[in-house]
Chains A and B, each alone.
Chain A
Amino acid sequence: GAVVSQHPSRVICKSGTSVKIECRSLDFQATTMFWYRQFPKQSLMLMATSNEGSKATYEQGVEKDKFLINHASLTLSTLTVTSAHPEDSSFYICSASEPGLNYGYTFGSGTRLTVV
């Protein structure tokens, strides 16, 4: 089946630095990818939708300049958390829509970001 590889799985960074999270579709072309944020013991909150070759669409309340999303190819989407602060600490998960008539979504394994 479709696989999305997300890296890193865990990252600790200092306040003020930037962190890049990568999501790669390994065996299919992901035209659309979604980025979610999950707080402890809570559900997934959609941050943005990215389409290959175009600008991402951000949900209301999500800072575009802080959470930079790039979807430069059909197999790679990246989320960069810029000038990270402790309140950005969270679990970030990407998801790709599966091609064809599969009506599915494949999720990455998530990235635990801790900003100290």
Chain B
Amino acid sequence: AQSVTQLGSHVSVSEGALVLLRCNYSSSVPPYLFWYVQYPNQGLQLLLKYTSAATLVKGINGFEAEFKKSETSFHLTKPSAHMSDAAEYFCAVSETSGNTPLVFGKGTRLSVIA
């Protein structure tokens, strides 16, 4: 069975500071990994995804994540936080190309302080 652990339910950073949201996964097969962002009362927007190509994945809005198999991690980073980045972030894993459901972590709420 697959699972995702997001370390830290709440992360607070200053505007302009580095954003680091942590995600560790467990999977018996090579995983597909995703990061999504959710704003209040909205659906999920894909930030980026890893599908066994390049280990450093660049996404939208300046976010990127690095797949590290040895550490079973897929941490999300952004060099400089903006106020508009304040939202809930979910890491998710799937074992196939879309026919099986995503398994989500519990989410990390990112606050950005002016």
Contact = CB atoms under 8 A, between A and B. Distances in A.
Interface of A: 6, 31-32, 34, 41-44, 46, 49, 91, 93, 95, 97-98, 101-110, 112
B98 A98 contact: yes
A97 B99 contact: yes
Interface in B59-111: 90, 94, 97-99, 101-107, 109
Contacts, number: 58
A112 B43 contact: no
Given A93-B44, A108-B43, A110-B42, A103 B104 contact: no
Contact of A107 (B44, B49, B109): B44
Interface of B: 32, 34, 36, 41-46, 49, 51, 90, 94, 97-99, 101-107, 109
B43 A6 contact: yes
Given A31-B99, A105-B94, 11 more contacts: A32-B99, A34-B102, A43-B90, A43-B107, A44-B102, A105-B46, A105-B98, A105-B102, A108-B43, A109-B42, A109-B43
A44 B90 contact: yes
Contacts of A93: 43-44
